[in-house]
Amino acid sequence: MIVRFLRGGQPRRREKTVVFASAIFSFALLLAGCGYGGALAPVRTSIPTGESVAPGLEAYYHQVLTWSGCGDATECATALVPLDWADPARESISLALARHRATGDDRIGSLLVNPGGPGRSGVDFVTSALTLLVDEKLKSRFDIVGFDPRGVGKSTSVRCYEPKEMDGYLYGVSAEPRGSDARLRDDEARAADFAAACKNRSDHLLPHVNTVSAAKDLDLLRAVLGETKLNYLGFSYGTLLGATFAGLYPANVGRMVLDGALDPALSNLDRMLGQAAGFENALRSYLADCLAKSECPFAGSVDEGMNTVRALLDSVDARPLVNHDGRALSGSTLLMAVVSALYSEATWKRLGEMFKSVMAGDANVAFQLVDHYFGRTPEGQYTGNGTEAFVAITCSDYDFRTDDASRQAFVRQLAAAPILGPYLDSDAIQCRTWPIKRSASPVAIRAEGAAPILVVGTTNDPATPYQWAQNLAGQLVSGHLVTREGEGHLAYNRSNSCVDNAVDDYLLLGVVPASDPHC
């Protein structure tokens, strides 16, 4: 398996799936609103701003959305956007939207939310897990609008593998020794096969699945929702999407909060190194907490516990444990089980159960954690296209140097995470054979002229290290940092009232903290 860390996002839930067939729509359809999930009759329309736009974009920006009921207190619609923003008349693709209308009488407007990934479905979160995104105060004053970015979920989406093929890609076990040239060739071949499958099934879409294009889509969504400014709440990867929007359209930024920030100036290798160190630190925090409890499967000091984890990884890598469904638990898959449970202190107990079971020779709990992480059902199906979208967007956004010297330097730097690092070296080659050239270079985003932007960072966030939030808040001319002291990925609506009040006061009242509250 080629190991990768999703860029955080909200913890995955077994959401109710709304059936939606991704499609390419003809340009003529732009003039008519399109609903989806229309088991119920259309209930409302959105009136666009009608603003002046560049020639060729009028039909997109002036389209009228028709909303139909698609769940409890939610309604869904489909927007059309250009496949290629450089050639808008060429072709259009669809974006799926879900909306929970403001419950109070003093509605402010629309608040667009992105749960991260890249590859997480904002539609699914709004229809089935809205309480994970926002609190009751925001639901009262805003229409909460989730969307699946281009390439993701119920929008026109990237497709690469059938479920059995995806199992091989995510859970496959290499017969070659870790760190050997033969293992490197094996990983490269696996990556090349995946890339070829994506090109075969999604060739027309791949060149246009990237964060810059998605940020342009955001501006279009703002306009068709009738908003002169974009109010936005982005988590994890959603912070990069939001910051990119602010850089492109600073005058169109309304109230924007970016929680669990990525540093847009980082190279992909630096990003992966930061996450390796972040998860290593989170593992130490877990062990310190675990060793203070009687039921902990570890003994001794934190350092001894870390060495035990490494020995366990090495053991199953040499002799994989066979699960009841026939899948083999390798060191790479065990690493993903560990990582998936380190996103939140709430899952540390489950992590202890997993370690205990693997020590006893049972792979079942480990596979439950990894399956949950990748959205794999017990029947062997996948609830979305999160993996395919993640790879497509990441490989388009970042520069993946293909020379061996760069990879070797990356491997040497992984020594800063001595326990987990050796199981991450294959990350550096995941996009080596990607058929699409990088769409943009990582660069600091200033967004001069934008309204205040709140950047929220957690001091021991494993997936988006705190330094990244500090960096982004410093880059943005109007950036304001809100620090949460604690463990885990993300802070708003999941940590403490200090963070929640700072975010709510800004989104609801426009009040910016006078200084970092250090929650």
Give CA–CA dist 225/111, Å, rounded.
Answer: 10
Residue 125, domain extent: 24-157+206-228
Note whether 28 and 120 are same-domain residues: yes
Label residue 139 exposed, middle or buried (CB < 10 Å: 0-12, 13-18, 19+): buried
**Residues 80 and 34: beta-carbon distance below 8 Å:** yes
Q: How many domains does the chain have?
A: 2
Same domain assignment for residues 320 and 370: yes
Among 395, 418, 441, identify where a domain stops: 441
Residue identified by tokens 């380190």 is 342
Q: Exposed, middle or buried by CB within 10 Å (0-12, 13-18, 19+), for 405? A: exposed
- Of 424, 441, 458, the residue that ends a domain is 441
Same domain, 81 and 213: yes
Same domain, 164 and 147: no
332 in any annotated domain: yes
124 is catalytic: no
Residue 452 in any domain: the answer is no
**Annotated catalytic residue within 157, 489, 495, 500:** 489
Same domain for 330 and 188: yes
pLDDT of residue 478: 98
Residues 128 and 148 grouped into a single domain: yes
Q: Which of 383, 413, 441 is the last residue of a domain?
A: 441
Name the token pair of 223. Answer: 């306009």
Cβ atoms within 10 Å of 29's Cβ, excluding its own = 15
Which stretches of the chain drop beneath a pLDDT of 70?
A: 1-43, 400-403, 426-428, 439
Query: Is residue 346 located within the same domain as residue 417?
Result: yes
Q: Which of 22, 94, 155, 236 is catalytic?
A: 236
Are 200 and 212 within one domain?
A: no
Same structural domain for residues 219 and 354? Answer: no
In a domain, 489, yes or no: no
- Residue 385 domain flag: yes
Whether residue 511 is contained in a domain is answered as no
Asked whether the beta carbons of 159 and 206 are under 8 A apart, the reply is: no
Helix axis angle, 211-224 to 237-248, nearest 10°: 70
The question of whether 461 is a catalytic residue gets the answer yes
pTM beyond 0.85, yes or no: yes
174: which DSSP letter?
Answer: -
Is residue 412 situated within a structural domain? yes
91 with 169, same domain: the answer is: no
163 prior amide bond cis, ω within 30: no
Q: What is the pLDDT of residue 60?
A: 98
- pLDDT score, position 204: 93
Does residue 148 form part of some domain? yes
Whether residue 233 contacts residue 135, with contact meaning beta carbons closer than 8 Å, is answered with: no
Whether residue 139 is found in the same domain as residue 153: yes
**Residue 30 pLDDT:** 30
Q: Which of 461, 480, 495, 504 is catalytic?
A: 461
Encoded tokens for 85 = 């923003």
Burial of 42 (0-12, 13-18, 19+ CB in 10 A): middle
- Both 276 and 406 in one domain: the answer is yes
- Decide if 403 is inside a domain: yes
Nearest alpha-carbon partner for 5 in 491, 423, 486, 439: 423
